[in-house]
């Protein structure tokens, strides 16, 4: 497949999501399968990239909840077609599946980034326990204990709410030091994640999955 055609398909998927055009997304997704294009690439750099732009438009108050929901419908229309055809080897999930507790931290009502990461975890074969947004700090601890998940992933979009992550890390590590904790969101950096005592930092949706795979693999080694 030519570079030009690859670019064209990714653009169709991306713009179809941003312009909440389900038919366009469905047509491009079917073309991806028919023409033998890499499905994981199409999901990450087409659909997910489109949804990330939607998140930015929402933050800039150019899009509001109705647009957001229509964009999500377009995204899922594409995912329904593409997700069953993703090669696990592309995701890097070579059998190292696990469970993830996921949520946006208390005080934070942004959940687009979290939803994209949830989607990628599911694509990679993880079981996701999604607590939603504005999650009370102790709920992360309770859900981890209840599900015995290997990973807790928290997202924050504001510096004020980000501080709650440090408390959750402390509470979880006190109860179960082996749990791997991953932080992400606009104000979070690798240095902040280290400072808060977390085990990983997710810069993007794809990066979150790669981090999680490594975390689960290292935990399995510890337990074996």
Q: Going residue by residue through the chain (224 aa), what tens digit of pLDDT does each one get?
A: 899 999 999 999 999 999 999 999 999 999 999 999 999 899 888 998 898 788 778 778 899 878 988 998 999 899 999 988 988 777 665 555 789 999 999 999 878 778 878 877 887 778 999 999 999 999 999 999 999 999 999 999 888 999 999 999 999 999 999 999 999 988 899 999 999 999 999 887 767 877 888 888 888 777 66
DSSP, collapsed to helix, strand or coil, labels residue 74 as helix
On whether the 3-86 domain is CATH 3.40.50.10140, my answer is no
Angle between helices 65-82 and 3-18 (to 10 degrees): 140
**Residue 169: closest CA among 135, 201, 137:** 137
Rounded Cα–Cα distance for residues 136 and 114 (Å): 16
User: b/e for 85-103, b at 16 or more Cβ within 10 A?
Assistant: ebeeeebbbeebbbbbbbb
CATH classification number, 91-223, choose in 3.40.50.280, 1.25.40.10, 3.40.50.300, 3.10.20.600: 3.40.50.280
Q: Where does CATH 3.40.50.280 sit in the chain? A: 91-223
Distance CA 128, CA 2 (A): 36
For the chain, how many residues are written?
224
């Amino acid at each position: 497949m030519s570079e030009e055609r690859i670019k064209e398909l990714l653009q169709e998927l991306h713009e179809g999501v941003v312009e909440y055009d389900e038919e366009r997304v469905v047509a491009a997704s079917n073309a991806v399968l028919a023409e033998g294009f890499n499905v994981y690439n199409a999901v990450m750099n087409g659909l997910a990239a489109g949804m990330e732009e939607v998140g930015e438009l929402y933050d800039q108050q150019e899009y509001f909840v109705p647009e957001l929901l229509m964009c999500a419908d377009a995204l899922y229309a594409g995912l329904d077609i593409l997700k069953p055809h993703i090669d696990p080897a592309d995701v890097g999930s070579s059998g190292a599946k696990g469970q993830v507790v996921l949520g946006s931290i208390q005080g934070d009502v942004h959940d687009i980034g979290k939803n994209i990461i949830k989607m990628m975890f599911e694509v990679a074969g993880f079981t996701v326990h999604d607590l939603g947004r504005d999650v009370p700090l102790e709920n992360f601890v309770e859900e981890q204990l209840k599900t015995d998940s290997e990973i807790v992933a928290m997202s924050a979009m504001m510096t004020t709410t980000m501080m709650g992550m440090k408390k959750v890390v402390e509470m979880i590590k006190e109860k179960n030091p082996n749990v791997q904790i991953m932080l992400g969101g606009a104000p979070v950096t690798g240095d902040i994640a280290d400072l808060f005592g977390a085990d990983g930092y997710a810069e993007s949706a794809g990066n979150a999955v790669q981090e999680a795979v490594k975390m689960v693999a290292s935990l399995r080694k510890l337990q074996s």
